[in-house]
Structure 1
Amino acid sequence: MFQIARKLLFRLPPERAHAVALRGLDLTAKARIGPFKPSRVDDPQTLMGVQFPNAVGLSAGMDKDGEHIAGLATAGFGFLELGTVTPMPQPGNPQPRVFRLVEHEALINRLGFNNRGAGNLVENLRKADTDLPLGINIGKNRTTPLESALEDYESCLSTVLPWADYVVVNLSSPNTPGLRDLQSGGAVGGLIRPLMARRDEFTATNKRRVPLLVKLAPDMNDRELDETVEALLECGIDGLTATNTTVDRSAVLGNVRADEEGGLSGRPLRDRATAVVARIRMLSGPDLPIIGVGGIMTADDAVEKIQAGANLVQLYTGFIYHGPRLIQASAQAIRDVRHR
């Protein structure tokens, strides 16, 4: 059934198909049936003080404004990450801004943090009814200069902390000019330390600690990655997400869409994202929580991320190409490996 649905959806422009698919999930939630009859794999684990029903989550970007939580919860995920949200609403980049590279099982997007703002997300979270952990991914507005980026991140963090099970600081989208400069080893500490302090103030007041993570790009070389990870470890970061999309096009040369600006996701990103997970694990030791994301198109890909050092994984492009069964198969494969 999913293959039939995908054929129909892939006849639509990508953003239109995205909206139609999410509305379809919402309808299945209202009808109290799972999409194409998946079931959630039971493989609970507690990480960062949060209990995850299984290790497979939804990556940020699919439900930026928290409008489809009920529908996505029917698909078998163990957690959902919402956003990226910014302090003020913004439309993102002009359309078209999402492109399919079907033969590569890939997407290129240059969405540009299109969202209705952190306050709107909170209003949707007030109405949400789910038992899944919810992560919230935060960014800065495009018009905010880099030297004022901390103000945007502090504003977003303060807005979403009461509603988040964890928060991810997105410094790695290639679609906001200059944003990746903030993840360099020399700059990242000056941004993250005040955010950690803001989180700690919330903890002291509310007696609830919300983990703070940073999402990194796959395009740093080893030296740059090492410096950034070391700086984040010195800040006492609670975890890392690896990775965001890539600007590298070497794996899709010759594709008619290869020269589109934006971040490439899907199968071509798999090996690099896994290598970044492995290097972070080597640098951080055994205890730092890592969410592995990038190019998971099969259950074996999910297991590979876990074996490289990830504690949890996330899907986005793989979900678009392979549907809810990929969630179930990945969660089951991870459970089997962990319980051998």
Structure 2
Amino acid sequence: MLYPLLRPLLFSLKAETAHNLAIRSTALFSRMPPLTKFLHHFTRTHHPFTFAGLTFPNRVGLAGGMDKNGVAPAAWWACGFGFVELGTVTPRPQNGNDQPRMWRDVPRRALFNRMGFNNDGADVVAARLAMLKFRPPFPIGISIGKNKDTPNERAEDDYAEAGEKLAPHADFVTINVSSPNTVGLRALQTAEAMAKLVSAVRTVIGGKPLLVKFAPELTGDELKAVLDACLTAGAVGVIATNTKAATSPTGLPCGESGRPIQDLSRQRVEEIRKHVGGGVLLIGVGGIEDEKSAARMVDAGADLIQVYSALVYEGPFLPARLARGLKRRAVNTSPDRR
């Protein structure tokens, strides 16, 4: 394909510069419905999964953090994704952390970032989604967060405000309390705090499914307590996991994603599924880069998977390959084929 030829050029640029170029390109493509529909004819995979009234055309989604401002949903659909998670979006626009704040680790096929929830704000993103010329026929989720200048004691106000503004344009909403790049955010990953957050957001988003995204370091009894609190308060699904806390090449705290967290994320998925059983939507994300790692995440208990870092290394047609691989595997392991 074309991407192996483009990758050296993109990798010659700073990571965030290349990212912004990719987002601008996909945003432009997303505004051309005839082209997105034409490409989707070649990338689509029919391997549906239904949960809470939503039908996912296939099991592979785009993770939050790639399209923070909801500028390119149709382009992601055209690439073969079965769903997308936009954001993270905060109530008010914010610039995020100072640059540089994104780095590649090519030998380890990893990414480091300390973006800090840079986004256009809930009002702008909601207006943008309301004006879509073409809304692709797959679930669109929106990840919500708090502004960095909002103290944790008032976090539920921010999450509720963002949820209320964005829910009319979302098929599901995700509470993100697990980014390592907003100071103090992960302190909200307690049973007491999460019960309040989930309840506050649940109240304002109507019947939209509500998910919660956790850090890979949250485990054991603490994880179980938080899961129980979230599900009791009205969450119906979990995304596992966010990036792993790490140190950037500049010596500052950041998040690490990609191949190095593959095992850790899969372990959390397995742990969560064992605790919650069936009936809870579980989306596995972290280090998925090929059909083998996708299958292992599903075997660990994930209903759906998401990718981000591997998209940087493998290119825009990775989701179609993963979706088709999972479909072939499901057919080959079905009872009728045994």
Amino acid at match of 2:4: Q
Question: What is aligned with 1:167?
Answer: 173
In 2, Cα distance between equivalents of 1:48 and 1:248: 35
What's the counterpart of residue 12 of structure 1? Answer: 13
Select 2:130's aligned residue among 126, 129, 145: 126
The correspondence of residues 148-159 of structure 1 with structure 2, limited to 5 A, is 148-159=154-165
Q: Which residue of 1 aligns with 2:292?
A: 300
Give me the whole-angstrom Cα distance separating, in 2, the residues matched to 1:286 and 1:267: 28
Amino acid at match of 1:196: R
State the TM-score, normalizing by the size of structure 1: 0.91
Report deviation, 1:75.
0.9
Q: How does 1:176-325 map to 2 (within 5 A)?
A: 176-199=182-205, 202=206, 209-248=207-246, 257=249, 259-325=251-317
Using the size of structure 2 for normalisation, the TM-score is: 0.91
Partner secondary structure for residue 244 of structure 2: coil
State whether residues 62 and 307 of structure 2, in contact with CA within 8 Å, keep that contact through their aligned partners in structure 1. yes
Aligned to 1:95: 99
- 1:32 paired residue among 31, 35, 42: 35
- Aligned pair partner of 1:44 in 45, 48, 53: 48
Q: What's the offset of the Cα at 1:258?
A: 8.7
The sequence identity of aligned pairs, in percent, is 41
Of the candidates 53, 56, 61, which is equivalent to residue 57 of structure 1? 61
Contact 1:38 1:325 in 2 (8 A): no
**Secondary structure of 2:312's aligned partner:** helix
| Partner SS for 1:335 | helix
Q: In 2, Cα distance between the equivalents of 1:3 and 1:259?
A: 31
Instruction: Tell me the distance in 2 between the aligned counterparts of 1:237 and 1:36.
Output: 32
Shift of 1:335: 1.3
| Alpha-carbon distance in 2 for matches of 1:212, 1:268 | 29
Secondary structure at 2:216 match in 1: coil
Asked if the contact 1:35–1:74 (Cα under 8 Å) also holds between the matched residues in 2, the reply is yes
Query: Greater shift after overlay, 27-36 or 95-104?
Result: 27-36
Give the whole-Å Cα distance in 1 for the aligned partners of 2:158 and 2:204. 13
- The alpha-carbon deviation at position 261 of structure 1 amounts to 2.3
More moved, 35-44 vs 150-159: 35-44
| Displacement after TM superposition at 1:196 (Å) | 1.9
Q: Does the aligned pair in 2 maintain the 1:108–1:260 contact within 8 Å?
A: no
Query: Is the contact made by 1:26 and 1:72 (CA closer than 8 Å) also made in structure 2?
Result: no
Aligned residue pairs, count: 326
Contact 1:233-1:284 within 8 A present in 2 as well:
no
Task: Give the Cα–Cα distance (whole angstroms) in 1 for the partners of residues 252 and 107 of structure 2.
Answer: 16
1:206 alignment partner in structure 2: none
Cα RMSD (Å) of the superposition? 1.9
- The alpha-carbon deviation at position 267 of structure 1 amounts to 0.3
In the alignment, the residues of structure 2 paired with residue 22 and residue 89 of structure 1 have an alpha-carbon distance, to the nearest angstrom, of 18
More moved, 98-107 vs 298-307: 298-307
Distance 1:260 1:42 in 2: 43
Q: Secondary structure at the match of 1:137?
A: strand
- How far apart, in 1, do the equivalents of 2:325 and 2:304 lie? 13
List alignment gaps of at least 5 residues for structure 2: none
Q: Look up the equivalent residue of 1:328 and give its one-letter code.
A: A
How far off its partner does 1:219 sit?
0.9
How far has the Cα of 1:259 moved from its partner? Answer: 4.5
List runs of 5+ in structure 1 lacking aligned partners. Answer: 203-208, 250-255
Give, in whole Å, the separation in 2 of the partners of 1:326 and 1:304: 17
- Which of 133, 139, 146 is the aligned partner of 1:140? 146
- 2:166 partner SS: helix
**Equivalent pair of 1:266/1:318 in contact (CA under 8 Å):** yes
> For residue 21 of structure 1, what is the amino acid of its counterpart?
A
The amino acid across from 2:35 in the alignment is R
